[in-house]
Amino acid sequence: MIRLQNVSKTYDNGANFAVADTSFSVEKGQLMGLIGESGCGKTTTLKMINRLEEPSSGVVFVGDNNVMDSQPEELRRNIGYVFQGIGLFPHYTVAENVAAVPQLLQWEENRIQARVQATLAMVGLPYEDYGDRYPTQLSGGQQQRIGVARALAAEPDVVLMDEPFGALDPITRAELQEEFKRIQSKLDLTVIMVTHDMTEALLMADRIAVMKQGEVLQIGSPAELINSPQHEYVQEIVAMPKRRADRLDEVLRSNGTGAVSS
């Protein structure tokens, strides 16, 4: 459904590469997690899929189409996305924000209404309470959830998400992760999700791509990455959640509180 072939991106005529000769594909209905340290090229990779950026070399396919053969607006109508720094439309209400793409696609008004209500319920911000508010009347985490609702509103086949749950408290975050995963399976959505949180990647992703300095070091299922990491960095990053859980157990035991796991 998504395929990158030897894709590179330089913002400075080849002095540095934000993304360097990257190839991978994501099958229909799969969720791929994209993880790696700050500045390694995750956002740039996502943006080349819906043409918010264009590759310096290489080819990106969505379905059978080379994205450079599609109109950018057309592409973005068919691919849901939630990006860092690309916020909600400030002069639209919550309901109008979520309805924006279905409206562009000229859905019938009844269908749009039903869809807006359903997606808002899904992210835990019911239409009755939040539909008429403006983005400035929401918390950061609520805005982020409306962003997820907006990305899913037009029932896209492909969804690109850049740290979609980053600003949420742990309980809301866990709920939304589960809810999103359920919807993704039900609708057979193809998703690439950037995250800094390896636990989130392990819990949600069918496959995980680990990036470093513009390159994908390894792609595999959570089990493959844990059982046969091919780089020290991959080994380190996949071991992190377990290491933290072990450390937490240790601390709780020494406080006489008992373990959280095992």
Ligand X SMILES: Nc1ncnc2c1ncn2[C@@H]1O[C@H](COP(=O)(O)OP(=O)(O)OP(=O)(O)O)[C@@H](O)[C@H]1O
- What is the side-by-side order of every strand in the sheet holding 57-62? 19-26, 2-9, 57-62, 65-66
H or E element in which residue 66 lies: strand 65-66
| Distance of closest approach, residue 17 Cβ to Mg ion, in angstroms | 16
Q: Is 8 in the site for Mg ion (CB under 5 A)?
A: no
Q: How far is the CB of 3 from Mg ion (least distance, A)?
A: 21
Half-sphere exposure of 24 (CA within 13 A, CB side): 22
Q: Which partner from the list Mg ion, ligand X, none does 145 bind, CB cut-off 5 to 8 Å by kind?
A: none
Instruction: Mark out the alpha helices in 66-197 (DSSP H runs).
Output: 72-78, 94-104, 109-122, 127-130, 140-153, 170-187
Query: Which of 43, 97, 190, 195: binder of Mg ion (CB under 5 A)?
Result: 43
Q: 41 vs 135, which CB is nearer to Mg ion?
A: 41
CB of 211 to ligand X, least distance (A): 7
Reading phi first (left if > 0) and then psi (alpha if -120 to 50, else beta), residue 86 is in beta
Q: Which does 44 bind (CB under 5 to 8 A by kind): ligand X, Mg ion, none?
A: ligand X
For the CB of residue 120, give the shortest distance to ligand X in the complex, in Å.
27
Start-to-end Cα distance in the chain: 39
Binds 18: which of Mg ion, ligand X, none (CB < 5-8 Å by kind): ligand X
Beta-bridge partners for 208: 33, 220
Residue 49 Cβ vs ligand X, minimum distance, rounded to whole Å: 12
Residues that bind ligand X (CB under 6 A): 11, 18, 38-44
DSSP per-residue letters across 184-228: HHHHT-EEEEE-S-HHHHHHH-SEEEEEETTEEEEEE-HHHHHHS
Nearer to ligand X, 86 or 104 (CB): 86
Residue 49: contacted member of Mg ion, ligand X, none (CB under 5 to 8 Å, by partner type): none
Q: Give the range of 10-18, 39-47, 169-177, 221-229 binding Mg ion by CB under 5 A.
A: 39-47
Name the residues that contact Mg ion, by CB under 5 A.
Answer: 43
